[in-house]
Chain A
């Protein structure tokens, strides 16, 4: 669908569009890649969370770039300007991330991820330790605590309901489109999931993460993707990747509860920290630590990368 009018743009203090854009072919899937900073500076990868997109880093990434790094981020398949696909899975996302890394450098680099992106980077670091120099996980550390504590019978009922909802979604996706609206309407909808983020930031996100169609703004997000899901994965399997990492690891947890947050507590993570691991707890932040407190997070990351260089 093509926009018929020039899209208005909302400015946000500190936000800076990427300095460069390119695409990468990941086994036939077109992945949109964005960069901030000097192209000759040492690169690092920055992975966004589920249902997000690379432009959510428009404040955070420039701070890292100003600290001397070439910041490389990408829209995961089905998100932003990357291609919509037949299938989506964890392993496919990790594979796409490797394609971005391969297109950037063959030298070891820092991996930084938020939420799902943090767990993806953790898996990439475990799978290919020779390609990674540091790992930063921003509120993407899972725990068994995420699972509700309910009786077995109730758990069975809840899971069945979740499966039914997912199948109904699968039946309908061929004809689904993202619901259109005004900038304010899309910002409001997103605000229901991002309750701690200010309205002007959410309005900014609409102008960089949605497209203007004749019917209104639509998020650039494949309708096949949805919040939640089910499967055999056990969160502790992800945590089990941490202790064996030889590289410096910085984990961050935002302690204010949010719908998109994972509810992980420090005591869930501490036993799994590797020898060169460190956990920072943000009592006054929610899931989007790097958006609520970009300067503090960026400073912490830059110092972490420098001191463990």
Chain B
């Protein structure tokens, strides 16, 4: 990492929050990686010129954050990871890739007062486990398997996380109802799983390019 790393406590998990670039002006941008990924070691080129500081959070079981014993992942727990980061940062725009996009949506609804827009982008884990559970199965990690990071349980459990459209819409409505940024969410994804189709259909959600979204929220103050 080219910047500093702050370690946050979320329950028994130690979360790594990396500062990729420091800046004096504007609010922070918080990067949320995809399933199985980690925060990049430097500010991605595709990010352009964000005027504020840029941070990246390693989700539980990923990067330099704690790998839990015995699994038990849910999207909601990762949303609480983001809440821990927002406690540290204050207010931030969220930029999520794949799984991080879904988590950004949840966090935008849960902490609408702290999120200055959520930008949703393609990446690993965007689809999740569909809109309803399939045949049940019980995940097992082989003895001697690569312990990670990323945690093998994270890869298995979060790839099967159920994402009903009406559930996603709940978080959109929370973001709109309890936040002050309009539009609350910018969708830059090409791939449109059902939860994301439902999100886009809601008022207060805009479809645009990543550049447009970044410019939009860089100017926003909320």
What distance in Å separates the Cβ of B167 from its nearest Cβ neighbour in chain A? Answer: 4
B135 to chain A, nearest CB (A): 8
- Taking CB as reference atom, which chain B residue is nearest A77? B70
Contact A167 B110 (CB under 8 A): yes
Per the 8 Å Cβ criterion, residues 120-161 of A in contact with B are 123-124, 126-128, 156, 159-160
Query: Which segment, of B4-12, B21-29, B207-215, faces chain A?
Result: B4-12
Q: Which residue of B lies closest to A128 (CB)?
A: B138
- B138 — which chain A residues lie within 8 A by C-beta? 91, 94-95, 98, 124, 127-128
Given A156-B177, A167-B110, A231-B76, A87 and B70 touching (CB < 8 A)?
yes
Inter-subunit contact B72/A86 (CB<8 Å): yes
- Residues in A whose Cβ lies below 8 Å from that of B83: 167, 170-171
Task: State how many angstroms separate the Cβ of B174 from the closest Cβ of chain A.
Answer: 5
B80 within 8 Å of A (CB atoms): yes
> B146-175, CB under 8 A of A: which get 1 and which 0?
000000010001001011100100100110
A160 (CB) vs chain B CBs: closest residue: B174
Binds B, one of A212-220, A232-240, A296-304: A232-240
Residue A187 lies at the interface, judged by CB distance under 8 Å to chain B: no
Which A residues lie within 8 Å of B141 (CB)? Answer: 27
**With a CB–CB cut-off of 8 A, which chain A residues contact B136?**
94, 123, 126-127, 241
In B72-120, the 8 Å CB interface with A consists of 72-74, 76-77, 80, 83-84, 87, 109-111
Q: Which of B11, B66, B174 contacts A159 (CB 8 A)?
A: B174
Residues from chain A with Cβ under 8 Å of B109 in the complex: 160, 163
Which one of B11, B60, B110, B162 has the highest number of Cβ atoms from chain A below 10 Å of its Cβ? Answer: B11
User: Cβ of A86 and Cβ of B13 under 8 Å apart?
Assistant: yes
Q: Is the interface of B mostly helix, strand, loop or mixed?
A: loop
Is B190 close to A, CB under 8 A? no
A174 to chain B: which residues have CB within 8 Å? 9-12
Number of chain B residues whose Cβ lies closer than 8 Å to a Cβ of chain A: 44
**A89 contacts B133, C-beta separation under 8 Å:** no
| Contact of A92 with B by CB under 8 A | yes
Partner of B173 from A98, A156, A237 at Cβ < 8 Å: A156
| Min C-beta distance of A207 to chain B, whole Å | 28
Best-surrounded residue of B66, B71, B109 (most CB of chain A within 10 A): B71
Closest to B76 in A: A231
Q: Which residue in chain B gives the minimum CB-CB distance to A164? A: B110
Please tell me if the beta carbons of B84 and A171 are within 8 angstroms of each other in the complex. yes
**Quick one: which of A28, A77, A123, A163 contacts B174, CB cutoff 8 A?**
A163
B24-55 near A? 1/0 per residue, CB < 8 Å: 00000000000000000000000000000000
Determine the chain B residues whose CB is within 8 A of the CB of A177 once the complex forms: none
Contact A28 to B178, CB < 8 A, known contacts A86-B13, A156-B173: no
A170 & B11 in contact (Cβ 8 Å cutoff): yes
Q: In whole angstroms, what is the CA distance A77 to B12 when docked?
A: 14
Please indicate the chain B residues that have their CB under 8 angstroms from the CB of A95 in the complex.
70-71, 138-140
A26 — which chain B residues lie within 8 A by C-beta?
70
B80 lies within 8 A of A167 (CB): yes
B222 at the interface (CB under 8 A from A): no
Whether A41 is near chain B, meaning CB under 8 Å from some CB there, is no
Cα of A94 to Cα of B178 in the assembled complex, Å: 36
Closest to B69 in A: A28
Nearest-neighbor residue (CB-CB) of B12 within chain A: A86
Determine the distance from Cα of A186 to Cα of B173 in the docked complex, in whole angstroms. 40
Residues of chain A within 8 A (CB-CB) of B71 are 27, 87, 89, 91-92, 95
Give chain A residues whose Cβ lies under 8 Å from the Cβ of B219: none
Is A159 touching B170 in the complex (CB atoms < 8 A)?
yes
For A84, A85, A163, A234, the residue with the greatest tally of chain B CB atoms inside 10 Å of its CB is: A163
Cβ proximity bits A18-53 to B, threshold 8 Å, 1 near / 0 not: 000000001111000000000000000000000000
Nearest-CB residue, chain A, relative to B167: A232
9 nearest A-B residue pairs (beta carbon): A87-B72, A86-B68, A92-B72, A29-B70, A127-B136, A89-B72, A232-B167, A28-B69, A170-B80
Name 6 extra pairs, CB < 8 A, besides A87-B68, A94-B136.
A29-B70, A98-B138, A171-B84, A232-B162, A234-B164, A241-B136
Mark B residues whose CB is within 8 Å of A.
9-13, 60, 66, 68-74, 76-77, 80, 83-84, 87, 109-111, 132-133, 135-141, 153, 157, 160, 162-164, 167, 170, 173-174, 177-178
28 A-B pairs (CB sep. < 8 Å):
A27-B140, A27-B141, A77-B72, A85-B68, A86-B13, A86-B68, A86-B69, A87-B77, A89-B71, A89-B157, A94-B138, A95-B70, A95-B138, A95-B139, A126-B135, A127-B137, A127-B138, A156-B174, A159-B170, A160-B109, A160-B178, A164-B110, A167-B80, A170-B10, A171-B83, A231-B74, A232-B167, A237-B132
